[in-house]
A and B are shown apart, each in its own frame.
Chain A
Amino acid sequence: MKRLSRSIFSILIFGYAFLYIPLILVVAYSFNDSRIATIWGGFSTRWYGELFRNDQVLDALFLSVRIALTSATLATILGTMAALALARFGRFRGHTLFTGMITSPMVMPEVITGLSLLLLFIALQQLTGWPGQRGFSTITIAHTTFSMAYVAVVVQARLSAMDQSLEEAAMDLGGRPLRVVFDITLPLIAPAMIAGWLLAFTLSLDDLVIASFVSGPGATTLPMYIFSKVKLGVSPDINALASLIIAFVSFGVLLAWAVMRRTEAR
C-alpha cells in the first residue's frame, strides 16, 4: 500500500483545484440570469437558448469542425508516413533535416508559424493565383502542417516499441513490404494512430492564432468568434458556449477512460 506523503498529497489537491476551479466557475455562471456575468442574478438557461439561435456561432462551429476533421485525417496520414520513414527506413539521405522538420512545429511559437504561413500563401497567390480566397483550405493546410508533427511523434513512439520481428516474419513468409505494412504494422499501431488523430483534431479545433493569420474574410472559426467577443470582456453567452464545450469534452474523455478500462480488463 503506497501512501503518498502529506505534502505531495496536498499539492496534488491544490494543483487539481487550480486546474478545475476556473472551469467550474464558468459552468456555474453560464446559468446566471444577469447580463453582467460576474454578478449573480438568478438561475437561468436563457444563454443556452440564445446560443442555438446564434447563426454566427453555428457557422463558426461548423467551419471549425470541418477544418478539424479534414486536417486531423490528413495529419494522421502524413504523420504516420513520416513516423514510418523515421522508425523503419534507417538513415536515408536527408534524414537529419527530415527529423528536424518533423519535430519543430511542436515547439515553434504560434505567431511565427502563423505569420510564416500567411506570407507563404500570399507569395503563392502572387506566383500562381492560388489561394485566391483564404479560408477553409489555407487553415486546413496550416493545421495539417503542425498537427502532423504531433501525430508523427506519437506513432513513432509506438513503432519503436513494436517488435520488428513481426514484420520480418511477415516478409519471410512472402509478404511484400507494402503488404506487410497494411497487414501487420498498421493494425498494430492503430491505437497510436487514433490517439494521434484525436490529438490533431483537438489542436485544430482549438487553434486561434494560426487561424487568425491565415484566414480570410468570411471564414471565421469558432475560436476566432469566441476571441472577438471575449476581447470586450466576460460575456454570458460565451459562458454557455464554454460550458457546452467543457461538458462535451469531459463526456468524451470519460467515455475514453471507460473504454480503456474495459479493454485493459479483457
Chain B
Amino acid sequence: MGIVAAPQRRRAKRLDVLPGAGKLQDNLWQRVAIATPYIWLFVFFLMPFVIILKISLADPLVAQPPYTPTFDSLGNISVTADNFAFLLTDKLYAITYLKSILMAATATMCCLMLGYPMAYGIARASETSRNLLLLLIILPFWISFLLRVYAWMGLLNNHGVINNLLMFVGVIDAPMQIIYTDFAVFIGLTYSYLPFMILPLYATLERMDLDLVEAAQDLGASATIAFRDITWPLSRPGVIAGCLLVFIPATGEYVIPYLLGGPNSLLIGRVLFDEFFVNRDWPLASAVAIVMLILLVVPIMYWKNFERKAAENEA
C-alpha cells in the first residue's frame, strides 16, 4: 500500500507512446493525420515568411528576380538593412502605418457600436426569427466582398444615389465629394467587416442567459447598470474576438482604399501592393510586410492567447 515509489517506471506502451496521450491512438495513421497538414502549413505558410525576411534584407536589381541573392556563388552572405532604414526614416511610411492603424481602429470601434446592439437584438429574438436574422447577417458575407465594396461606389460617387438624394431633398446644391475620400474608406471598412464583428458577439451573447439580465432590471437595477455590471463583462470574450477579427485584417486592407479612397488615402496594404507591382521594388515591399507584421504581432499574440484560454475554458 502507499504511493508509488519514485522513480516511476514508465513502461513504453503502444497506448502511452506520446506523453499525455489522448484517445484514438494508432501510430501510423495518427502520424499521417498530424504530419500532412503540418507539412503543408510549414511549407506554404511558415516558410514564405522566412523568404520575405530574406528578401527584405536584399537590394533591388533590374533582373529576374529583381533582388540581390542572399547567398552568392561563393557562399558569402550579403544582407542589407537599407530597406528598413528607409522605412524607419521616411516620414511618409511612418504616417501611412499610423494612418492604417488609426483607420482600422476607428472602423473597429464603429463596427462594435453598430454590431453590438445588433448582436444583442438577434440573441434576444425568438428562436425562429433568430435563425433567419443570422442568415441575413451571413448572406452578405457569402456575397463577394469585392461586389459589396463596388456597391458603395455606386452609392457614393458624384452621380450616385446619396448625392442625388441629398440634392433632391435640397440639402446641397452641388454633389459632395464623398467617394475617393478617407470617409468613404471608413464607411467601406465598417460595411465589409460588420459581419465579422456581429458573429462572435452573437455567439457569446447567445450563451448568456439574457433573461437573467432582464430580470435584474425588473428588480430595480436600471438598464445601464445591469448592462455595465452584468452583460458587458460577460460578453467581453465576444467583444475581444470581434475586435481582433476586424482590426487585424483591416489594417492591411487593399481593395477598399483602392476603390473608395483618394490619392491621400494611402493605407499600408496599398503601399505594399504598389511597391511590389508598380515599382517592382521587391525588397522594399518585403520590408514593408515585415514591419507590418511586427506591428501586428502584439494583437496577433493577444488573439492566440485569447483563443487558447477560450479553448481551455471550454474543456
**A residues near B, CB below 8 A?**
2, 4-5, 7-9, 11-12, 14-16, 18-23, 25-26, 29, 36-39, 78-79, 81-82, 84-85, 88-94, 98-112, 115-117, 119-120, 122-123, 126, 141-142, 144-145, 148, 152, 160, 164, 167-168, 171, 176-178, 180-181, 185, 202, 205-206, 208-209, 213, 223, 226-227, 230-231, 233-234, 238-239, 242, 245-246, 249-250, 252-254, 256-257, 260-261
Contacts and interface: CB of A to CB of B under 8 A. Distances in A.
Given A29-B154, A145-B44, A103 B118 contact: no
B23 A111 contact: no
A246 B142 CA distance: 9
A22 B154 contact: yes
B125 to A, nearest CB: 7
B121 A8 contact: yes
A112 B295 CA distance: 13
14 contacts: A15-B115, A22-B152, A22-B155, A25-B161, A26-B150, A89-B18, A98-B41, A107-B300, A111-B269, A117-B48, A145-B41, A177-B29, A238-B150, A246-B147
Given A115-B285, A115-B289, A167 B125 contact: no
Interface in B259-315: 259, 269, 272-273, 276, 282, 285-286, 289, 292-293, 296, 300, 303-304, 307-308, 311, 314-315
B154 A234 contact: yes
Contact of A85 (B33, B115, B161, B286): B33
B251 interface: yes
A112 B29 contact: no
A5 B311 CA distance: 33
A2 B121 contact: no
Contacts of B55: 119
A252 B276 CA distance: 38
A78 to B, nearest CB: 5
B292 A109 contact: yes
Contact of A250 (B125, B139, B258): B139
B41 to A, nearest CB: 4
Given A15-B115, A29-B154, A98-B41, 14 more contacts: A8-B121, A15-B117, A25-B161, A26-B150, A39-B159, A81-B34, A82-B38, A101-B42, A109-B269, A111-B289, A145-B41, A160-B314, A257-B131, A257-B135
Interface of B: 18-26, 29-30, 33-34, 36-38, 40-49, 51-52, 55, 65, 114-115, 117-118, 120-122, 124-126, 131-133, 135-148, 150-155, 157, 159-161, 164, 191, 194, 223, 244-245, 248-249, 251-255, 258-259, 269, 272-273, 276, 282, 285-286, 289, 292-293, 296, 300, 303-304, 307-308, 311, 314-315
A57 to B, nearest CB: 13
A136 to B, nearest CB: 16
Given A11-B121, A15-B114, A115-B276, A109 B253 contact: yes
B272 A4 contact: no
B143 A208 contact: no
A117 B155 CA distance: 35
Given A2-B125, A8-B117, A112 B307 contact: no
B314 to A, nearest CB: 6
A122 B51 CA distance: 10
A141 B272 CA distance: 22
A25 B151 contact: yes
Contact of A122 (B42, B65, B139, B142): B65
Nearest to B51: A119
A231 B300 contact: no
Contacts of B33: 81, 84-85, 89
A234 B157 contact: yes
Contact of B19 (A91, A104, A260): A91
A197 B249 CA distance: 22
Q: Which 10 A-B pairs have the closest CB atoms?
A: A109-B252, A90-B22, A116-B48, A22-B151, A177-B26, A82-B37, A11-B117, A120-B48, A12-B121, A101-B41
Contacts of B125: 2, 4
Nearest to A260: B131
Contacts of B24: 84, 88-89, 167, 171, 177, 180-181, 185
